[in-house]
Structure 1
Amino acid sequence: MITGEMKNKVDKIWETFWTGGITNPLTVIEQFTYLLFIKGLDDAELIKEQEAEVLGLPYEGIFPEDKQHLRWHRFKQLGSADEMYEVVSKEVFPFIKSLHGNEDSAYSKYMDDAMFLIPTANMLAKIVDGIDNLPMKGRDTQGDLYEYLLSKIATAGTNGQFRTPRHIIKMMVELMKPTPEDIIIDPAMGSAGFLVAASEYLHQHHEDLFLVQGLKEHFHNTMFYGNDMDRTMLRIGAMNMMLHGVDNPNIAYRDSLSEANKDKDKYTLVLANPPFKGSLDYEAVSNDLLKIAKTKKTELLFLSLFIRILKPGGRAAVIVPDGVLFGSSNAHKKIRKEIIDNHKLEAIISMPSGVFKPYAGVSTAIMIFTKTGAGGTDNVWFYDMKADGFSLDDKRTPIEETDIPDIIERFQHLDAEKDRKRTEQSFFVPVEELRENEYDLSINKYKEIEYEEIEYEAPEVILNRIEELEKDISKGIQELKAIIRS
């Protein structure tokens, strides 16, 4: 998360939008993102040009010779605000909309109806100046900025969607360790945070994949998939992916739960935080999903979807509301039974209720499982996360306490967890015990609390002490009265 000076600068830019008449938070984010994207393209181009010059290699960038004036560092230096406005609105914006000539690309599809809505030259000049002063060094800063912008959407959407904190996304990606061969999907992608984090992980841990032509092609064209039903978020997601070095992500305007989604046995890794609280009509839901558990609840339907779309051996790390873990309806029990008995449930990481503030105070957990079709659940690892590095109130200010490094370390060495007691922060529960408890996955069902015995003094001793205190009080009052009278 961003704090201090950076936060103040972003707030000031936001205020410029607001006072200029753009008051819809999503519209502000979208227009803000266009300009960040335009600047990001130029920044990336400058780095590549410098690298090519050092190596003595030819470099053909995305800005042709006759379009050099469309670059951020060029148009921001134009003599007047009106001149810059003319260039940005009439040339730069159409240029970024047509960046991907391929009409089938996600970028082209969702930029097609993008509109430049900044109304005046002076307003644009203020915003460009503000963005130019943002310290945008490094991809982490950019990710933090996106997260902060999205946090400006103060309420959850109609289906209960809200933004996943970036450090939680990063933790889930590090737990799953994506490989260069993976085919990754987020069926409720929003701004593509999970996909971006997965691409970043591969950049950091598998840099050699970009030296192998087949893997490089896979990374840019067939590795990343995302669905959403909000075109604004699809545009933001497409730009986000492109800025993070994925040329052609497979982003689709699609209701993942509908009959129109035919995906089956297609992906090797699901990373998602699907909408909670939603309730759909049976007619709107794919019949395949209702076979596992007949329900209208989106959080259960998405679990059925994850099972269907994963290839055998495919893995999932997904966020679910606590109700999924212990709900007593037939649908709740059926979906838990399906995952435990017919696939391999590996871990339940219980998160504190403040993780999603200020959007919601709902308690959630991360569920990690592998699709097998033949069972395999033996011992399920439970972890009781108590801190994530931020306060658990609406302010979410940074604090020192965090369990995230411990979670990652322990999950990567589960063999060392076998002797942990139920009184500790993490422990195993055998599958037989889960079945005996009607597949209840709530950590509180299995966690044991050690109570310290407290010895109190005998009642007579306490009473004598109270009497002595009363005598002292009475004596003090008498002394005060004597002072007042004299």
Structure 2
Amino acid sequence: MVTGELKSKIDSLWEIFWTGGLTNPLDVIEQMTYLMFIHDLDESDNTHAKEAAMLGLPYKSIFAGEVQVGERTVDGVQLKWSVFHDFPAGKMYSTMQEMVFPFIKNLHGDKDSAYAKYMGDAIFKVPTPLMLDKIVTAMDGMYEQAAQLSNIDIRGDIYEYLLSKLATAGVNGQFRTPRHIIRMMVDLMQPRADDVICDPACGTAGFLVAAGEYLRENRKQEVFFDRKNKDHYMNHMFHGFDMDRTMLRIGAMNMMTHGVDNPFIEYRDSLSDQNPDKDKYSLILANPPFKGSLDYDIVSTDLLKLCKTKKTELLFLALFLRMLKVGGRCACIVPDGVLFGSSTAHKAIRREIIENNRLEAVISMPSGVFKPYAGVSTAILIFTKTGHGGTDNVWFYDMKADGFSLDDKRSPTTENDIPDIIARFHNREAEATRERTEQSFFVPKEEIAGNDYDLSINKYKKTEYVPVEYPSTQEIMAQLRDLQKKIDAEMDALEELLK
């Protein structure tokens, strides 16, 4: 969450847009997104240049030499944020309007790319040079403040805070998954260099960005020093779909800023017939919207065959099974109702995952994880598509703390189960002897099937009752008489003082 000084700087920046005449919150978020992208493009270009120099690899800056902008050829250095932010207001405005903005709109040469598709109709809406000068100065202050904060996904946190200002935020389930929860899920799944990764409800592409970061940190040699793997990483690995064009723009820019040249991010209603993907992906990471009900008419008939329901959280599970190739893995967040719901559709989807595929883990999360935007209790399901069963023992974990307070403030705390969850998940052989009274344990498939495929951890967790021995009535009465004697003595002493 954005707090303190950074929050006040973003509020001030929002106020500049508001007083300057941009009163539609979506317009403000879009314009701020473009400007953040322009700033981050300069920063990431410098970072990539330094990394290439350290590794002794060739690197050509996108700002190097003469750059083609429309029919004009301009000096690329002028397009860098670190250069034009020192220009006088009038020159900065003309540079932004006539050079920088057209440059980022056509940054990706492939006209069929997601980036070109969603930037093609982007419009620069800042009305005056003075307003732009104020915005750029305010953003420099915001980034200076952000640089002082360590281990925080500033861009993601800023998007989350901006979305909280939208009156419609949450109506469509657009709650950003907290950064540390995303990273935990990625660490649990350990993406590989040959994975094809998808998030069918990608929003700002947080899961895809985190998967890319994991590969950079843990499989750098394998991914970036192999021509085939690097091409796969840049052009074929990452796939994201969403129904909000603003989110798609943000997602495409977010991925490019994080060094992925050509992510496949597309406008698509994942649950409808316009989504033909089947047996395609080896890894799905998702927090699909729990926005209630859809009309049967717009839902893919394939999904309804498996799970006849209008509830999106159940339909998305059916979708994940369809989109995964055999052997493909999924980690997804579901509301608690999916785990124990008693409707035919609830039972059908749980049975499908358990009987016809391999359910590996159910991680129950506390209800405060999505606060202050939602207080719903959720869980993470981890399963592998086999098409022929394979579930034997399901691993359950009862997460009680995620490193932050579980109230609306979400202040950092020392209690954090996430490192323990990751360590235990990757060493499940050692979990076999754990009792049901502990924080994690195994439950055999037969027991789950006998309970209508109920996956609620409370169904299987046992509470250990420790007998408490109390003193006898005679001892308690003797203690009370002693106390009464002391009180009487003190009262007598007080009375003597008052004489």
With normalisation by structure 2, the TM-score equals 0.90
Query: Does 1:430 find its partner at 2:444?
Result: yes
1:225 to 223, 239, 246: 239
Query: Does 1:81 find its partner at 2:89?
Result: yes
Tell me the CA shift for residue 459 of structure 1. Answer: 3.8
1:323 to 308, 329, 337: 337
Structure 1 partner of 2:421: 407
Alpha-carbon distance between aligned partners in 1 of 2:131 and 2:156, rounded to the nearest angstrom = 21
Structure 1 partner of 2:71: none
Tell me the CA shift for residue 18 of structure 1. Answer: 4.1
Query: Does 1:105 find its partner at 2:119?
Result: no
Tell me which moved more, 4-13 or 378-387.
4-13
1:147 to 157, 162, 171: 157
Structure 1 partner of 2:99: 91
Deviations, residues 10-48 of structure 1 (Å, cap 9, x unaligned): 444344334444455443332222112111111223344
Alpha-carbon distance between aligned partners in 1 of 2:49 and 2:353, rounded to the nearest angstrom = 50
Deviations, residues 99-138 of structure 1 (Å, cap 9, x unaligned): 1132210001111222223333333222212322424669
Please give the secondary structure, in 1, of the residue aligned with 2:382: strand
Matches within 5 A, 1:269-418: 269-418=283-432
2:84–2:92 Cα contact (<8 Å) kept:
yes
1:70–1:91 Cα contact (<8 Å) kept:
yes
Alpha-carbon distance between aligned partners in 2 of 1:139 and 1:306, rounded to the nearest angstrom = 36
Tell me which moved more, 414-423 or 93-102.
93-102
Q: How many aligned positions are there?
A: 484
1:313–1:372 Cα contact (<8 Å) kept:
yes
1:161–1:274 Cα contact (<8 Å) kept:
no
Alpha-carbon distance between aligned partners in 1 of 2:445 and 2:180, rounded to the nearest angstrom = 30
2:206 to 175, 193, 213: 193
1:349–1:383 Cα contact (<8 Å) kept:
yes
Q: Can you give the 5+ residue segments of structure 1 that lack an aligned partner in the other structure?
A: none
Q: Can you give the 5+ residue segments of structure 2 that lack an aligned partner in the other structure?
A: 67-73
Structure 2 partner of 1:115: 123
Aligned partner letter, 2:94: E
Tell me the CA shift for residue 424 of structure 1. Answer: 0.6
Structure 1 partner of 2:261: 247
Structure 2 partner of 1:37: 37
1:266–1:309 Cα contact (<8 Å) kept:
yes
Deviations, residues 38-77 of structure 1 (Å, cap 9, x unaligned): 1111122334445667788765332352232121111111
Query: Does 1:256 find its partner at 2:280?
Result: no
With normalisation by structure 1, the TM-score equals 0.92
1:191–1:237 Cα contact (<8 Å) kept:
yes
Tell me the CA shift for residue 159 of structure 1. Answer: 3.3
Aligned partner letter, 2:132: L
Quick one: percent identity of the two aligned structures?
Answer: 62
Tell me the CA shift for residue 93 of structure 1. Answer: 1.3
Alpha-carbon distance between aligned partners in 2 of 1:267 and 1:18, rounded to the nearest angstrom = 43
RMSD: 2.6
Q: 1:224 to 1:59 in 2, by over 3 A?
A: closer
1:183–1:267 Cα contact (<8 Å) kept:
yes
Tell me the CA shift for residue 178 of structure 1. Answer: 0.5
Matches within 5 A, 1:421-460: 421-460=435-474
Aligned partner letter, 1:150: E
